[in-house]
Amino acid sequence: MTIEEQKAKIEAANKRIVALEKEKADLLASSKSSEEAAAKRLRSLNIQLNNIRKQIKEKEAELEAKNAEISALQEKTAALNKADEENKSRIASLNTDMENLSARMDKTIAAKDRLILILIILLAVAVILAIFGFVKKRGRSAV
């Protein structure tokens, strides 16, 4: 049952109270000839009034409980939204760190690739020089 429905029921109960109190006043003003019937009706109306007042108190208590529940849920929602924003901020920071590390890694790999290429060239030159040296040495030995 929604809060609006409960408020509508409380309003309807209040209207019933007004109508019953009017009827009570009318009965009191009526002639004394039907005093005994009026007394019975009066007791009945008082009982109905008390029951309606009791229902109103119960509905108001339910409304207060619902309002408290709504407030608690709103607080939880606010806390979750705050946590969500913090998590998004952390994720953005981690993504930035990851991009920076990736860029550093790419630079390091490129530098190592250049170093490996230089070493390969030096090794090739050394092998060529060694072969050239062996060929020259054999050429002198053969002469």
Q: Is the pLDDT of residue 32 over 60?
A: no
Q: If you search the block for the tokens 């060529």, which residue do you land on?
A: 128
Q: Where are the alpha helices (DSSP H) in 3-34?
A: 3-29
Neighbours of 140 (CB within 10 A): 8
Q: What is the mean predicted confidence (pLDDT) over 113-142?
A: 88
More confident residue, 131 or 40: 131
What local confidence, expressed as pLDDT, does residue 120 receive? Answer: 95
Displacement of CA 8 from its chain's centroid (Å):
31
Helix, strand or coil for residue 27? helix
- Of the listed ranges 14-23, 30-39, 65-74, 130-139, the one predicted with least confidence: 30-39
Q: What is the mean pLDDT of residues 114-138?
A: 90
**Mean pLDDT (whole number) for 63-91:** 95
What is the number of helices (H) and of strands (E) in the chain?
A: 2, 0
Cα distance between residue 47 and residue 36, in whole Å: 17
| Nearest residue to 51 via CA among 8, 18, 13 | 13
Comparing 73 with 9, the larger pLDDT belongs to: 73
- More confident call, 34 vs 112: 112
Q: How far is Cα 128 from Cα 134, in angstroms, rounded to an integer?
A: 10
